């Protein structure tokens, strides 16, 4: 008498529906980023922050910055969010600039020493970041 009801019970019971919903949710999740993609995005952000400092304190021009950014984009091919990360780093450089300006007012000699040291380090990092890396 209830033969059809047992088929309904098996097909539409909560367990298979929950499994179907779980499978759909897993498919809808964004793909996890690879370690190299995460690293490339982080490098783009750090480069944006350093470029901001170099523009502000090391005498680099907007043209120098644009050239460096385009060269770096070609090296960091795995950075899927290059421009977004560059801008985030650039904005983080705003707080660095505020701190350095404050230091310039309070201790000009320490400011000069830090500028020299930081500009040398940033120059080295910029040159190093443009070297193509061999995949591991």
Q: What is the pLDDT of residue 12?
A: 52
Segment 5-20 shows an average pLDDT of 55
Domain coordinates of the chain in residue numbers?
35-129
Q: How do residues 16-70 score in pLDDT, each as one tens digit?
A: 655 655 555 555 545 445 567 788 889 999 999 999 999 999 999 999 999 999 9
Non-local CB neighbours of 51 within 8 Å, separated by 6+ positions: 60, 65, 68, 69, 86, 89, 90, 93, 126
Q: What is the pLDDT of residue 32?
A: 46
Segment 81-88 shows an average pLDDT of 93
Residue percentage of the chain with pLDDT more than 90 = 55
Residues 92, 50 contacting (CB under 8 angstroms): no
Alpha-carbon gap, residue 31 to 64, rounded angstroms: 35
Q: What is the pTM of this model?
A: 0.69
Q: Is residue 124 over pLDDT 70?
A: yes
């Amino acid at each position: 008498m209830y033969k059809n009801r047992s088929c309904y019970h098996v097909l539409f019971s909560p367990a298979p529906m929950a499994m179907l919903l779980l499978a759909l949710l897993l498919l809808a999740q964004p793909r996890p980023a690879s370690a190299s993609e995460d690293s490339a995005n982080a490098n783009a952000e750090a480069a944006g922050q350093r470029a901001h400092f170099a523009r502000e304190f090391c005498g680099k021009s907007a043209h120098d910055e644009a050239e460096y950014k385009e060269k770096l984009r070609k090296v960091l091919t795995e950075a899927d969010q290059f421009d977004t990360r560059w801008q985030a780093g650039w904005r983080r450089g705003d707080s660095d600039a505020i701190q350095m300006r404050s230091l310039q007012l309070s201790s000009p000699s320490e400011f000069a020493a830090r500028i020299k040291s930081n500009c040398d380090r940033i120059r080295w990092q910029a040159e190093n970041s443009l070297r193509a890396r061999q995949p591991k």
